[in-house]
Amino acid sequence: MVRDEIIETPGGSIQLRQAEPEDLEAILAVFDATLAWMNALGNVKQWGVTPFSQLPQMVTRFRRHLEEDTVFVAVKAGEIVGAIVVTFAPPPYCWQGAEEPAAYIEPFATAPSLRGAKVGHLLLQKAAQYALQQGRQRLRLDCFAENPVLPAYYEGAGFAPRGEFAVGDWHGRMFERLLTPGDSIPGSHP
């Protein structure tokens, strides 16, 4: 178990902790809220339109992440407001042929009500710290290429573009951050 942290931010205290299986519903609620926010902005292609909590395959996927991978959550005033999944196997749709050991961020979301509060940066920092503790010096992720905000967000968090891929008509970009002990994600409050 990774130790919990409480970080003071301009938006208040945020607790970062490892998720438990009983957090499943609250984690799905964060993704549902993010999906609704994206849909309201007209982005219906990235994650679709059906809430994750209503898709049996997504419920199963997140249950599996909680059982087999490491999931960190951000908690504010007792409520889960962000979640990030860290795994050590590349997703089946990208990073093929990348031989170096790495940690991979799979699903990642923060509550829309906390946009700009750096909760995502804190979760990325927690994932980076965990990857280093596990002997990984590379942290990788992918994102929807057609959302112009995401590449800039990840580059601002110290990730470098590493290529593109497609799954049908869904286009993605891959990003990687090289990790060194003691560094932090830009914009985070370690």
Quote the pLDDT of residue 148.
83
Q: What token pair was written down for 16?
A: 């970062």
Examine residue 180 and state whether it is found in any structural domain, yes or no: no
Distance CA 49, CA 103 (A): 29
With CA atoms as reference, report the closest residue to 138 among 94, 73, 86, 70. 86
SS3 97: coil
Cα–Cα distance for residue pair 35/150, rounded to 1 Å: 14
From the list 45, 34, 44, 6, the residue with the least C-alpha distance to 126 is: 6
Q: What integer pLDDT is reported at residue 174 of this predicted model?
A: 94
Single out the residue of 141, 149, 138 nearest to residue 173, CA to CA. 141
Q: Is residue 148 part of a domain?
A: no
Residue 156 lies in a domain: no
150: in domain? no
In a domain, 142, yes or no: no
- Cα dihedral 176, 177, 180, 185, rounded to 10, equals -150
Does 112 reside within a domain? yes
Closest CA to 71 of 31, 114, 115, 42: 31
The one-letter amino acid code at 100 reads E
Burial 79-100 (b: 16+ CB within 10 A, else e): ebbbbbbbbeebbeebbeebee
Judging by beta carbons within 10 Å of its beta carbon (0-12, 13-18, 19+), is residue 12 exposed, middle or buried? exposed
> What is the C-alpha separation between 112 and 169, in angstroms, rounded?
26
State residue 7's pLDDT score. Answer: 84
Largest CA distance in the chain: 43
Q: Cβ–Cβ contacts within 10 Å for residue 120, how many? A: 23
For residue 115, is it within any domain? yes
Query: Into how many domains does the chain fold?
Result: 1
Q: Give average pLDDT by consecutive 10-residue segment, the chain, 190 residues.
A: 72 90 98 96 93 97 96 96 95 83 94 88 94 95 90 92 91 94 63
* CATH number of the domain enclosing 112: 3.40.630.30
Is residue 182 in a domain? no
Q: What is the domain extent for residue 114? A: 5-136
